[in-house]
Chains A and B, each alone.
Chain A
Amino acid sequence: MSEHDEHEDERSVPELDPDAELRARVAVEAAALRAETSEGAQELTPRGDTDPTELRREVGAVLRLPEGTYVDPGDIDIERRDDETMIINMGPQHPSTHGVLRLMLELDGETVLRTKPIIGYLHTGMEKTAEELTFVQGSTNVTRMDYLSPLHNELVFSLATEALLGVELPPRAVWIRMLMAELNRVSSHLMWMATNGMDLGSTSMMIYGFREREMVLTFFEKTTGLRMNHNFIRPGGVAADLPDGWEDDVDVICETILTRTYEYDELLTGQPIFRERTEAVGNISAEEALALSVTGPILRSTGVPWDLRRTMPYLAYDKLDFDVIVGTYGDNFDRYSVRLNEIRESIKMIRQIVEQMPPGDYRVQDRKVTPPPRGRIDESMEALIHHFKIFTEGFRVPEGEVYTAIESPRGELGCYLVSDGTSKPYRMHIRGPSFVNLQALPVLLRGGLMADAVAVISSVDPVMGEVDR
């Protein structure tokens, strides 16, 4: 209270009396404020002073395709005058932008004409920090990018490192990674169901979604020690073996969540309000999605059956029997049903993983890559040397570069790793699926209502951590 008041003064403004000199000072103060938060060239320019080619491009990203191939230019109504439309900010601090995404929308009444996503409000310089950390520490940095499915980030970083190292993983490590990745997909899709329900007005869906997600998080806490940002999948295998009695924990999770998905189905799908706000809202065609490099549930909802777990299998996904869920219309409702059924598919896969989990050690035994078990350090000198060497200087990775990609709940999550022979990555670039999927927003939002914009943003399911990196 008082502590905040004197902070108030240095930014406060003198009495707003009609005195011209004071009003000028207030104008200067307001202009300074305006300059602080405006992003200049990155913003959406008003319709009047954007040249027509740029206007056509921004009216809908579909127009960024080579002209004439997909949309005949005739049906774009761009001759509106400047003062008929209104540009507003669906800004960084907004309840339904799923993080600090800022959308500048040009509205004609309630209809959205042009959209420009402005990102960078959560830029953490993680790719620069990655060049500072050794490969052993790398997955702690990467895991904080996509904070709804941290294990997928760690998995793609570890796969890239092992591809450079050329190291062969023991089967149990591969299968534990698949188990954790699929459980993380279930928890990420449950989080999406919760926030999507909340955005469309069903707060009870938020409560149910989080209640189920807590079950998965408690299993993660039991196995990895943390609810999020686990640093569990590391180059060379997994941090620790599964706790004993993990099979029945996973069975309880699978059983409960599978029955609950039918409850969500009953709760949401039949509801006229839900259908009114999701059917035929935010349509995108397969060509537009492919042209905009959109991947994941959005691409699959348009009918393209592209799932890296099936088409370019990594780990041991080719030994699992699962279905790729493909939609038909590419609207919100299809994305909702794709994700809902992907939860069921993941649970089916988890059950198969529980049956076929091979025994054996959970990480590579080559002491140059993974540290020796803690007990060995007290007995043998060279174990102590290995332990010391790995945790101070880290292991050296042969010079080279690699791009590996996996299927994260939001799309193709790629990791481009360049190593110069030392123990720190020379350059690490993460291809964030949400970073690319956000470009489809101008296409999805064009022509829809302002309320549809909320529904579409939540159906794109962006996670700003991996967008801004």
Chain B
Amino acid sequence: MGAVGSRRRAGGHAPVSETSTPTRAGPPSAVLPDVPRLPDSLVDQLAFPPRARYAEMVEAFKSVGFELCSDLCAVDYLTHPGRTLPDGVAPERFEVVVNLLSLSQRQRVRIRVQVPESDPCLSSIIDLYPGADAMEREAFDMVGIVFEGHPDLTRILMPEDWEGHPLRKDYGVGRVPVQFKEAPGPR
């Protein structure tokens, strides 16, 4: 993996200001070991908790010392079901991906939760990471994942009266056909 430059597994302890929550310095792999994982070269843990244990796992990672939720996004796997998943994890249509970052241990962890198409809802992690507020609203707006417990789950990027969730694979691009022959038609 030279491309990313020598990824420093320094594991050093950056002096976060002392008032941050006391972190029980345990390796992230020790968190809920029974949750299926995939080996990944760039991130320390790639976990696939079932929907029920998602909030519990995020809570566990936060207590181990992952102070910052750097990213939360939703992906629609309608046309690509055959992706590599650890055995025992049934591929669903939607997937919510959460990236957590530990400043003290300089590690990243990625949680991928399968969300079925029948009821696309998931519990919100806004009580643990208030920073995920806007990201969850964007995931709701773009892919239509409902986050229970989110105080004001409304659209954030699209106008209020917009119907449909644009980043779903069955949502057309909305292309206006241009006037030359080979231009792909509206999709």
Contacts and interface: CB of A to CB of B under 8 A. Distances in A.
Asked whether the complex places CB atoms of A and B closer than 8 A, the reply is: yes
Interface of A: 38-42, 53-54, 57, 61, 64-66, 119-120, 123, 125, 127-129, 132, 159, 162-163, 165-169, 174, 285-287, 290-295, 302-306, 311-318, 399-405, 412, 414, 416, 418, 420, 426-427, 429, 431, 435-436, 438-439, 468-469
B42 A403 contact: yes
Interface in B77-95: 79-80, 83-84
Contacts of A427: 75-76, 167
B5 A313 contact: yes
A295 B83 CA distance: 32
B3 A165 contact: yes
Contacts of B101: 412
B71 A168 contact: no
A56 to B, nearest CB: 10
Contact of B15 (A290, A294, A305, A418): A305
Contacts of B97: 401, 403, 416, 429
Contact of A40 (B10, B17, B67, B161): B161
Interface residues of B, number: 62
Interface in B45-68: 67-68
Contacts of B167: 127-128, 427
Contacts of B7: 312, 314
Interface of B is mostly: loop
Given A42-B156, A120-B158, A312-B8, A439 B134 contact: yes
Nearest to B43: A403
B4 A404 contact: yes
B183 to A, nearest CB: 13
Contact of B103 (A311, A399, A426): A311
B1 A120 contact: no
B130 A65 contact: yes
Nearest to A468: B157
Contacts of B179: none
Contacts of A305: 14-15
Contact of A54 (B67, B135, B152, B159): B152
Interface in B1-56: 1-8, 10, 14-17, 19-20, 42-43
28 contacts: A41-B155, A54-B151, A54-B152, A61-B133, A119-B156, A120-B157, A125-B166, A127-B142, A167-B3, A174-B5, A286-B19, A287-B20, A290-B67, A293-B70, A293-B129, A302-B17, A311-B10, A311-B106, A313-B8, A318-B8, A401-B83, A403-B97, A412-B70, A414-B70, A420-B79, A429-B75, A431-B99, A438-B134
B160 A41 contact: yes
B166 A159 contact: no
A288 B16 CA distance: 13
A129 B127 CA distance: 33
Given A53-B151, A311-B103, A314-B4, A402 B42 contact: yes
B80 A436 contact: no
Interface string B128-166: 111111110010001000000001101111111100001
Contact of B2 (A168, A285, A416): A168
Given A53-B151, A64-B126, A127-B167, A318 B6 contact: yes
B115 interface: no
A119 B1 CA distance: 38
Contacts of A166: 1, 3
